[in-house]
Structure 1
């Protein structure tokens, strides 16, 4: 099984504290998520992202709240995000805060990645959580996206209502709650998660900005970045292939040679390196399609032709044949009767 990237325990600990106040047996949830309490005692600790996602998922199941990540994202205070949160709080504007969080997030996570290259021009903030395709990230994804906006509202004192919010995972239920909170269109099952801000919103001033404090925090963070960059990092090739294939499925561009070119190598070299990791390109794409198919059949109201299209099949018959090969059931039977 592909190892999960590491992620800061700050979000997990914040949720644990929130649940304890509600009388929830947090120890039981940690055990279900395979989290040792000793591993999350330090603020600087990091865990495989699949365990954080599992804790959010178990918390949702225990409380019966299918929107737990969404609800918790609204309530977490900006100051609970650790040093990275304080960098945002001390920044001058929304734009500066988001750029700073992007720059220093690598100190806290190998999993989460932000893109701000279109923030100034188009008001677009992209983010993704890199994890094996088999990991259900829905609750944690909804927490991240919701907490972005809740935090910006707190630190600006303005009711920021984005032009559009998109999540990469599917959801078909309770969409109205998302639109009421965000104040605009919200879509699911997109190729990439993003927030599109309305004109002027990224230039809003932050009430807690502090130029001197920001300089101190950035100086320390820059030194930490320099130290981090002296340690060789091995990026997971399998996760990179999964990520690149996922955004190309529906355009039928999840091909060996195309992905290999994106990674700066030949198809033969990519096949050899994947073989060294004990897998093949076709296995990765098949596992990705299966995971997405199960999620879309369970959690979206999309028709079978639409699901087939999103997975890169030109005909429903091709999707039916593949799904039956994977599971022994047809997609229709799985949707109607479950696993």
Structure 2
């Protein structure tokens, strides 16, 4: 698969590997769309959870994240309860910028659609581990590829249909015009009718294909992104890279510590990295979260301090962000508070530490 070039300041565009089933998840913002569509069908979330084999309160409030296989069960259960044969299509249609987590904003800061697809390939793991995007370019034709390892274990055509439709709808919205598609290929069997897919893609469709893909003119990759904000790209990418790093570290640390760290990274810049808010987002009480962290030989304050320290060192070493910007990204109201904390962590103020890291 072809990896496109990145905008200035971007990281190498290698996608994050799909983790094992025990760690693969869908974040709450992405899950929310499916829950909203189900509720529009009149389905109570407690009934949906039970039908998916989950505790009745598993979807209320929307969890910070949901295991991938549970998400597929939710899609299948919602389609069954709603009697909507095209539930996945309608989920894809309902996708909006906010549902794609941080990388949705990164996409809007790209100059062209080719750069945007490259960022999807790098950062889609921030929204889900349902699968991974790829791109082939052969002369005047490009192919958007979607790969998922979960569908053999748990068949769910609604998931790839929601992904393919979601990408098409999002690209059309970004461009302000319909993206031309030459053909769409689905690896699952042809449904009884394909009217809803035809309505979205307006092109020939192939079922029982070897892979999920959409063929389109390669010239689309050179389309400019209207109203792009390239100046935002460096800061957004730095934040996204730290989120990816948090995901990677999750593989080597106790699950509860990893979940808390990831939630903290998502919450720092919004000044929401607080014990009660993180506990609520993870679907547990403060006391339960504290107990789980204690069982893992940790505490909320330790995870918060370690996360901030790691992020601070990265920002100081790898970016040209000012100390004020870094303090904001770490959730401090004042730069002086950041300076004091950093000196407690490493025994030196951040400006001096940055100078010591220069070649």
Matched with 1:91 is 110
Number of residue pairs the alignment of both structures matches: 232
| Residue number in structure 2 paired with 1:27 | 46
Measure how far apart 1:148 and its partner are: 0.6
State the Cα deviation string for residues 32-79 of structure 1 (Å, max 9, x = none).
213454577577x33222211111111111111101111221232233
Name 2:76's counterpart in structure 1: 57
Counterpart pick for 2:35 among 16, 20, 27: 16
> Which segments of 5 or more consecutive residues in structure 1 lack a partner in the other structure?
234-339
1:146 is matched with which residue: 142, 162, 165? Answer: 165
CA distance in 1, matches of 2:138, 2:72: 28
Q: Aligned partners of 1:99, 1:190: CA distance in 2, in Å?
A: 24
The answer to whether the 8 Å contact 1:168/1:188 transfers is yes
Q: 1:229, CA displacement in angstroms? A: 4.0
C-alpha distance in structure 1 between counterparts of 2:128 and 2:210, whole Å: 22
2:129 paired with 1:110: yes
Confirm whether residue 68 of structure 1 aligns to residue 82 of structure 2.
no
Residue 133 in structure 1 maps to residue 152 in structure 2: yes
Written as runs of structure 1 = structure 2, the 5 A alignment for 1:225-304 is 225-230=244-249, 232=251
Q: 1:6 aligns with which of 25, 41, 45?
A: 25
- Alpha-carbon distance in structure 1 between the residues aligned to 2:225 and 2:210: 31
Q: Could you say what secondary structure the match of 1:194 adopts?
A: strand
CA 1:159–1:166 in 2, change beyond 3 Å: closer, same or farther?
A: same
* Residue in structure 1 matched with residue 199 of structure 2 by the alignment: 180
Query: Which deviations, in whole Å up to 9, do the C-alpha atoms of 1:193-213 show, x marking residues without a partner?
Result: 111112422222222421122
Contact 2:88–2:161 (CA under 8 A) maintained in structure 1? yes
Secondary structure of 2:147's match? strand
Q: Secondary structure at the match of 1:123?
A: strand
| Residues 45 and 59, structure 2, Cα contact 8 Å, conserved in 1 | no
Give unpaired runs (5+ residues) of structure 2.
1-19, 253-359
* Equivalent residue in structure 1 for 2:177, among 158, 173, 176: 158
Which residue does 1:198 correspond to in 2? Answer: 217
* 8 Å contact from structure 2 (residues 46, 60) kept in 1: no
